């Protein structure tokens, strides 16, 4: 039976996982540098988990300085089969109430200052991001959040902004016109990199505020965000335990969305034109597809 090894990337307010057995920590290094913090590994029942706090413990890293490539590479090297991202977000819709969770299924990427691919000169690839999350993992995560007591919205478009500043009023209104549901600063390029690494990925976004489009209310600020985040984080930790319990005893099969083999249809550089140094660098990420 193929086992699940679940990677958890914890966002703002989520720096630990509850209930880990056989807990151990490891400082790791990748060819893309060090990840945000040490990897914390353990089990919940028979399911192996690998946890990484996205901003580092103590929230040391801003959204623009998170080492996204190193984070995904470290999880891939650790044998992770699927990645659940948990992050804070602002609401752009009345019905996405602070305290609610959203199992995001689409993204609009407005980041501008981050490395967004493992590939490059000497080995070019173009992965599909039409459906950027794993439908199976997203549904399981939504079920787990609901089981933990969270109010969950299944589906939603996440606008990824650069930050670290919050939106202007004009921006917030524009994103609402685009049909976005929530706004955050960290899902991109994380989701793109997970896809390049052939890792099924899903996001549980925890709503902490109404951004600033509600002009009658005080605009979003860190103090208000932290208050809601404290409650959300407790629910998120329970949701991780629920998810692990749901996976226990089930055999992992490839993602129904073809994510485990997506590079088979993404590599474009002719074999004779491939740079050996780049191929060596990509072995952890793309060794299966590159024949390494």
Q: Where are the domains of the chain?
A: 5-290
Residue 64: burial class (beta carbons within 10 Å; 0-12, 13-18, 19+): middle
Q: State how far the Cα of 231 lies from the Cα of 224, in Å rounded to an integer.
A: 12
Closest CA to 32 of 69, 57, 76: 69
Q: CATH number of the domain at 5-290, please?
A: 3.40.50.1580
In whole angstroms, give the CA distance from residue 235 to residue 13: 11
- pTM across the whole model: 0.95
What residues act catalytically?
Answer: 209, 211
269's tokens: 């550089």
Question: Helix axis angle, 68-77 relative to 187-196, nearest 10°?
Answer: 40
Angle at alpha carbon of residue 79, lines to 292 and 186, rounded to 5°: 105
Burial class, 24, CB count within 10 angstroms (exposed 0-12 / middle 13-18 / buried 19+): exposed
- pLDDT of the chain, 292 residues: tens digit per residue: 469 999 999 876 666 677 788 999 999 999 999 999 999 999 998 999 999 999 998 889 999 999 999 999 999 999 999 999 999 999 999 999 999 999 999 999 999 999 999 999 999 999 999 999 999 999 999 999 999 999 999 999 999 999 999 999 999 999 999 999 999 999 999 999 999 999 999 999 999 889 999 877 666 666 666 677 777 788 889 999 999 999 998 899 999 999 999 999 999 999 999 999 999 999 999 999 998 6
């Amino acid at each position: 039976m193929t086992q699940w090894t679940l990677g958890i990337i914890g966002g703002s307010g989520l720096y630990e996982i509850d209930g880990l057995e056989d807990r151990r920590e490891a400082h790791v290094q990748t060819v893309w540098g060090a990840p945000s913090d040490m990897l914390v590994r353990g089990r919940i029942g028979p399911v192996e988990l690998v946890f990484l706090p996205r901003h580092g413990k103590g929230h040391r890293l801003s959204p623009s300085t998170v080492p996204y490539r190193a984070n995904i590479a470290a999880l891939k090297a650790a044998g992770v089969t699927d990645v659940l991202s948990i992050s804070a977000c602002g609401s752009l819709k009345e019905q996405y109430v602070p305290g609610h969770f959203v199992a995001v299924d689409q993204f609009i990427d407005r980041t501008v200052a981050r490395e967004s691919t493992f590939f490059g000169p000497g080995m070019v690839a173009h992965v599909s991001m039409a459906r950027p999350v794993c439908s199976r993992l997203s549904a399981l995560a939504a079920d787990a959040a609901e089981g933990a007591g969270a109010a969950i919205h299944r589906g939603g478009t996440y606008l990824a902004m650069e930050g670290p500043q919050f939106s202007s009023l004009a921006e917030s209104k524009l994103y609402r016109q685009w049909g976005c549901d929530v706004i955050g600063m960290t899902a991109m390029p994380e989701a793109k990199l997970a896809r390049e690494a052939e890792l099924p990925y899903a996001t549980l976004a925890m709503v902490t505020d109404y951004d600033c489009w509600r002009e009658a209310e005080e605009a979003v600020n860190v103090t208000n965000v932290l208050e809601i985040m404290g409650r959300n984080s407790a629910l998120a930790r329970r949701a991780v335990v629920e998810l692990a319990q749901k996976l226990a005893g089930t055999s992992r099969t490839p993602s129904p969305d073809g994510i485990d083999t997506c590079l088979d249809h993404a590599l474009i550089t002719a074999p004779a034109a491939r740079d050996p140094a780049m191929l060596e660098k990509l072995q952890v990420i793309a060794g299966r597809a590159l024949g390494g």
